Amino acid sequence: MLEQIVERLREEGYKPKLGDLLLDLEDKEKETAIHHHSEKLAVTFGLISTKPGMTIRIVKNLRVCEDCHTVIKLISKVYAREILMRDRTRFHLFKDGNCTCGDYW
C-alpha cells in the first residue's frame, strides 16, 4: 500500500526531499529509507484500517521532517482525509493539502 501511495503522490508532483537524511547512502537507498518514516507508516495504516472520510490521528515524540510534512499534506488532498498529528512541538491539522501550522513548525 505504501508504494501505491508514493506512486499516486508522484503523479501529483511529489519529489522526495532527501537532504533531510543524514545517512551515508545512495539516493535510491535514501528514498527507500525516507518512505519508511514512522509517520508515513502510521498514515498508511490509518488509510487501510479506517473508513473513508474518518480523521486519522497520530502522536509522535519527535519533530516531523519536512518531507513527511509535505507527504501528509498531499495525502490529505489526494485521499480527502483530515489528518491530525501531534509532534514534539505542536499540533498539525492537515486538510485539503494544507496544514494549520502554515508550513512553519
At 40-73, the pLDDT tens digits run 999 999 999 999 999 999 999 999 999 999 999 9
Confidence grade of residue 23 (pLDDT, cut at 50, 70, 90): low
**Residue that wins the pLDDT comparison between 24 and 56:** 56
Give me the pLDDT at residue 39, please.
Answer: 95
Domain presence at residue 104 = no
- Name the domain count of the chain: 1
Secondary structure of the chain in HEC code, one letter for each residue: CHHHHHHHHHHCCCCCCHHHCCCCCCHHHHHHHHCCCHHHHHHHHHHHHCCCCCCEEEECCCCCCHHHHHHHHHHHHHCCCCEEEECCCCEEEEECCEECCCCCC
Domain presence at residue 13 = yes
Domain presence at residue 65 = yes
Domain presence at residue 60 = yes
Domain presence at residue 17 = yes
Domain presence at residue 21 = yes
Above 70 in pLDDT, residue 22?
no
Give me the pLDDT at residue 80, please.
Answer: 98
Domain presence at residue 41 = yes
| Interatomic CA distance for residues 8 and 60, integer angstroms | 25
Domain presence at residue 105 = no
At 87-98, the pLDDT tens digits run 999 999 999 999
**Can you give the residue range of the structural domain that contains 17?**
2-99
